[in-house]
Amino acid sequence: MCGRSSLTKTEKELEERFQSTFYSEDLERYNPLPNYNVAPTQVMPVITNDDQEHFRPFRWGLIPFWAKDEKIGYKMINARIETLLEKASFRNAVQKRRCLIPADGFYEWKKIGKAKQPYRIVATNTDLFAFAGIWENWKNPQGEWIQSFTIITQPPNKVVAELHDRMPAILLPEEERLWLDMELKPEDALQLIKPYPEEFTRAYPVSSRVNKVGENDASLIEQIPESA
């Protein structure tokens, strides 16, 4: 699973990398960058299939359109690629609502003795990459629309396998816009998702302070000495 990530770049760096811009009103009401400790239920910028020219602020944790309560989003921060076309929660979205979730790292934990050591995983060939995701619109009882997303996960490459049995679906740059192409059938779109090349993947230990969602500063992504 992917339950924590980071996005530490500025909006200008995001705009240059993805050739999409922020709506000015979104920057006024939403200015979370940099975020060294992205957690579920937080609002983050995504690029959707129906508005590829812009970043839009969506909440992490998919709320299906048929949901009666937004709390279901806590359980839907990830979607396994193996069951995307089977589960009612995801099947419709992968056909009609795909998105890119920008990031520059994600965290996993490795059990060392009785403790769990957090590691940050980054791509060595790019400063920014995109998770493949799907998104939804949901109207709450007060009549307000909430846009949410989930990150697709898959079996890990060899680097991440040392830490966890799943990893987020990171798209290669040339595959990003293809993922958003609704003319591409879901079955074909899912063929784009493969474990990120291990030769471009690096994992390093970081402070256990990242365990606390309230901690959010640059020191969280600094490498610390490997535990014995």
99 a catalytic residue: no
Q: Alpha-carbon dihedral of residues 212, 106, 190, 185, nearest 10 degrees?
A: 80
Q: Are 182 and 167 in contact (CB under 8 A)?
A: no
58 touches 150 (CB < 8 A): no
* Residue in 2, 99, 136, 176 annotated catalytic: 2
The one catalytic residue in 16, 70, 82, 108 is 108
Is residue 43 within 8 A of residue 132, CB to CB? The reply is: no
Phi/psi zone of residue 72: left (φ > 0), alpha (ψ -120 to 50 degrees), beta? alpha
The radius of gyration computed from the CA coordinates of the chain, to the nearest angstrom, equals 17
199 is catalytic: no
- Distance from C-alpha of 226 to C-alpha of 62, rounded to nearest angstrom: 35
> Would you name the residues annotated as active-site residues?
2, 108
